[in-house]
Structure 1
Amino acid sequence: MPEMSEDDLAAVSMLRSSVMRLSRRLRHQRVEESLSPTEMSVLGTLAHCGRATPGELARKEHVQPPSMTRIIAMLEVKGLVRREPHPEDRRQVVVSSTEQAEAILQESRRRRNAWLAELASGLTEEEWAAIRNAAPVLEKLAHL
């Protein structure tokens, strides 16, 4: 880790703490209570990246392949994903989300965005400007 000033270390600590707290609060704005946060994350990854093999999903979600196989099976039983033969490798399958999953994700995003917008409505214009400037940087950090 590069040498950081005391101010930088304090900022990192504040960022970690606030992101975790905000994330927990956002999770409470769930649409589909029967889905675990991990299942929602897998559906979100499929929505963002498109069809994927179970191995690709496991890597993107930072879980072991056997765990991803179980998650996919649970989502398939719930009608939220479908498995199809891999177009080039018959030993594999590709997983894609269903229309039902996409509707759940869309409503979840709508609800969470509305909650966050309501929460942020009390910010000053300067604070909003800081958020607009920070959002792309936070997005980059989330995908490194």
Structure 2
Amino acid sequence: MSAPDESLPATAADLRMATFRLARRLRCVRVADAMSDAQLGVLMTLRLHGRRTITALAERERVTAPSMTSLINGLEEQGLVTRTPDDEDRRRVQVDVTDAGIDIVEQTMRRRDELLVGAMRELELSADEVQTLRDASALMWKLAER
């Protein structure tokens, strides 16, 4: 059964505002201060999903291929990604995250998770409230991946 249409705009506004505020707090927590959110996003994508072409990365991160090339160039200069020729089409390259890039991703994710855990502990959430957050995160993933 679907939610009533009249409740969707208010829910969308509340979700947008809460998501932006939480995202802003999380973005402040990173291991490499000089790294942009877009660069960190690319490293996270490669860490979680493996090697990708620049085109596939651009589509996933919703940027243009030239923008992604620029991001990859910067990450490659820092030794955080490598490029290798594609096995099937030598005109394409595959981008992969290096051990140094993985380290940055894992440290950043750990610090961000610690921030959230600390906030949840401060709020002394009940087991039901924690379950509600788990359920909400599953729904947020559905929205984010569509």
- TM-score clears 0.5: yes
Which residue of the partner structure matches residue 63 of structure 1? 63
User: C-alpha separation between the residues in 1 aligned to 2:70 and 2:131?
Assistant: 43
1:97 aligns with 2:110: no
Q: Deviations over 1:79-119 (max 9, x none)?
A: 00000010000111100000000011000011000001001
1:8: Cα distance to partner?
Answer: 2.5
SS at match of 1:32: coil
Of the three residues 124, 137, 140, the one matched with 2:139 is 137
Which residue of the partner structure matches residue 86 of structure 1? 86
User: C-alpha separation between the residues in 1 aligned to 2:144 and 2:111?
Assistant: 21
Paired residues for 1:37-76 under 5 Å: 37-76=37-76
Which residue of the partner structure matches residue 24 of structure 2? 24
SS at match of 2:111: helix
Amino acid at match of 1:72: I
Identity score, percent: 38
Query: Structure 1: which 4+ aligned runs deviate by more than 3 Å?
Result: none
Which residue of the partner structure matches residue 5 of structure 2? 4
1:129: Cα distance to partner?
Answer: 2.2
Q: Deviations over 1:30-54 (max 9, x none)?
A: 1111110000001111112110111
User: C-alpha separation between the residues in 1 aligned to 2:45 and 2:124?
Assistant: 31
Greater CA drift, 68-77 or 133-142: 133-142
Q: Deviations over 1:4-40 (max 9, x none)?
A: 21x3221111001100110011000111111100000
SS at match of 1:35: coil
SS at match of 2:95: strand
TM-score in terms of structure 2 length: 0.92
User: C-alpha separation between the residues in 1 aligned to 2:111 and 2:26?
Assistant: 9
**Structure 2 alignment gaps of length 5 or more:** none
User: C-alpha separation between the residues in 2 aligned to 1:79 and 1:132?
Assistant: 36
